[in-house]
Amino acid sequence: MFKIRSLAAVLALAGSVSIASAWETLPTVAPAPEDNATTAEKIELGQMLYHDPRLSSTGTVACASCHNTMLGGEDNRPNSMGVHGQTGGRSAPTVWNSAFNKVQFWDGRAASLEDQAAGPVTNPIEMGMKSWDDVVARLKAIEGYQQAFEKAFGKEAISKDNATKAIAAYERTLITPNSPYDKYVDGDKAALTEQQVRGMDKVAELGCTGCHSGAAFNGAGMFQKFPVIANGYFEAQYHFKKDKGLAEVSKNPADEHLWKVPTLRNIALTAPYFHNGSVKTLEQAVALMAQLQLGKELPKEDVADIVAFLNALTGEFPKQKMPVLPGTPGTTFN
C-alpha cells in the first residue's frame, strides 16, 4: 500500500530529474479501477451523495463541506470543522485532481478514492454516523436514492460499497487541466510570463520536482519526511512535528513525520498550507519548504518567482450543475 523512499533516494532523484522530463501536462480523464468503471449514472449519484449533508449524524456536514468544489476543493481552514463544531488536527487536502493520487489522506492510509470515501462518514469528528449500516438504512428510506442507485448499479443496490464507488466515480471527474503551465508545455510560449518561466526554472534547479513530480506535481504516490531539517524556531511557531504523519497509522517509529507528497495543482487557491494548516501564505510556504527541506534561504526575488509559477498551476474548473437532492416529503432524519 505504501511506497516510501529513503531521504537519500529522494535527494538522489531530485538531482537526476531533468527539466525536460519533469514537465508533463495533466490528463483530462482519470483512470478508473476495473471494478468501478466510470458511468454517467454513477457520476450523477456520486455527486448527490457528495453534496448531501444527510450522510452526517447532524444533517449539517457533507463531503463538500470540507472539500468545496466551488473553489479550491477544500475549505480554506487550518483545520476542517465537522459535526457539533468539532475540528480535527489536519487541513483538508484538495479534492481537485485527487484521482491522480496513488494514495489518499495526508498519511496515505487509503489506497483508493473508494477507500477514502468511506472514512469521514463514520469518523466521530467529521460526519459522525455511528456505522455504515445506519447510513445505508437512511439511504434506503429515501425513494429518490432507491431510484438513483438502481440506475447506477441495479436493483437492491444500496450499500456502503456502491455508495463509495459512486462518490469515487464523481471525484474522478474533478480534473482541472489547461492551466497556463499546461498551455506553455503544450507549446504556447506566451501562456507564462517571464517571471513564471523564471520560477519554473528555479523549481527545477532547486530539485522541487524530485518530490513534486509528474503531471499532478504529487510524486505519484511517494512519501517524504517533513521537516527534513530540524529548526526549533520554526517548530515553536508552526508545530509541524506534533503530528507524526504516517506513523500515526503504521505505529512504526521509522515512519514518523512521513507524509504523502501533496499536489501543487491549484495550490494558489488552497491556503492555509501544510498538513496542519499553520502557514497562511504561499510566500511563507515556499520559503519554509526551501529552508526545512533543502537547507536553503531563498532570496525574496526567487520566492516571488516560484510563487508566480505556482499561480500558473491553477487550471480550468469543469462546469458543474449542482444536484437536486432527493427529498423526504413530510419527514426528516434530524
Per-residue pLDDT of 224-255, as tens digits, reads 999 999 999 999 999 999 999 999 999 999 99
Predicted confidence (pLDDT) at residue 10 exceeds the cutoff of 50: no
Decide which of 156, 171, 186 is a domain's last residue: 171
Could you tell me if 109 and 18 lie in one domain?
no
Could you tell me if 158 and 205 lie in one domain?
no
Q: How many Cβ atoms are within 10 Å of 220's Cβ, its own excluded?
A: 13
316 in a structural domain: no
Q: Averaged over 149-158, what is the pLDDT?
A: 97
Edge-to-edge strand ranges of the sheet holding 3-4: 3-4, 222-225, 258-260
165 in a structural domain: yes
Nearest to 58 by CA among 85, 79, 78: 85
CATH (domain of 116): 1.10.760.10
Q: How far is the C-alpha of 169 from the C-alpha of 188, rounded, in Å? A: 32
Active site residues: 126
The number of distinct structural domains making up the chain is 2
Distance of CA 20 to the CA centre of its chain: 26
**Model pTM score:** 0.92
Widest pairwise Cα distance in the chain: 64
Q: What is the pLDDT of residue 111?
A: 95
Q: What is the pLDDT of residue 220?
A: 78
Q: Averaged over 74-100, what is the pLDDT?
A: 96
Predicted confidence (pLDDT) at residue 314 exceeds the cutoff of 50: yes
Q: How far is the C-alpha of 100 from the C-alpha of 106, rounded, in Å? A: 14
Identity of the residue numbered 203: V
Could you tell me if 186 and 303 lie in one domain?
yes
323 in a structural domain: no
* Residue 65, all three cell numbers: 463541506
53 in a structural domain: yes
Could you tell me if 128 and 241 lie in one domain?
no
277 in a structural domain: yes
Could you tell me if 130 and 209 lie in one domain?
no
Decide which of 142, 171, 200 is a domain's last residue: 171
Query: Percent of the chain at pLDDT above 70?
Result: 93
Contacts for 71-74 with beta carbons within 8 Å, 24 or more apart? 71/269, 72/96, 72/266, 72/269, 72/270, 73/98, 73/174, 73/266, 73/269, 73/270, 74/270
Could you tell me if 166 and 182 lie in one domain?
no
Tens digits of residue pLDDT in 87-97:
999 999 999 99
Task: Decide: helix, strand or coil at residue 245.
Answer: strand
| DSSP string covering 258-311 | EEEPPP-TTGGGS-SBTTTT-B--HHHHHHHHHHHHH-----HHHHHHHHHHHH
Q: How confident is the model at residue 221 (pLDDT cuts 50, 70, 90)?
A: confident
Could you tell me if 203 and 290 lie in one domain?
yes
Q: How confident is the model at residue 173 (pLDDT cuts 50, 70, 90)?
A: very high
What range defines the domain where residue 102 resides?
Answer: 40-171
Tens digits of residue pLDDT in 260-310:
999 999 999 999 999 999 999 999 999 999 999 999 999 999 999 999 999
329 in a structural domain: no
Task: Decide: helix, strand or coil at residue 237.
Answer: helix
Distance of CA 326 to the CA centre of its chain: 28
Decide which of 144, 171, 198 is a domain's last residue: 171
Q: How far is the C-alpha of 125 from the C-alpha of 27, rounded, in Å? A: 35
Could you tell me if 306 and 182 lie in one domain?
yes
Q: Averaged over 209-215, what is the pLDDT?
A: 95
Q: For the chain, where are the alpha helices, taking DSSP H only?
A: 7-16, 19-22, 40-50, 63-66, 113-122, 132-140, 143-153, 160-171, 180-185, 194-206, 232-238, 247-250, 282-294, 300-311
Could you tell me if 273 and 219 lie in one domain?
yes
Could you tell me if 160 and 276 lie in one domain?
no
Could you tell me if 139 and 64 lie in one domain?
yes
Tens digits of residue pLDDT in 36-71:
999 999 999 999 999 999 999 999 999 999 999 999
318 in a structural domain: no
Q: What is the pLDDT of residue 147?
A: 97
Could you tell me if 207 and 263 lie in one domain?
yes
Predicted confidence (pLDDT) at residue 14 exceeds the cutoff of 80: no
Q: What is the pLDDT of residue 334?
A: 76
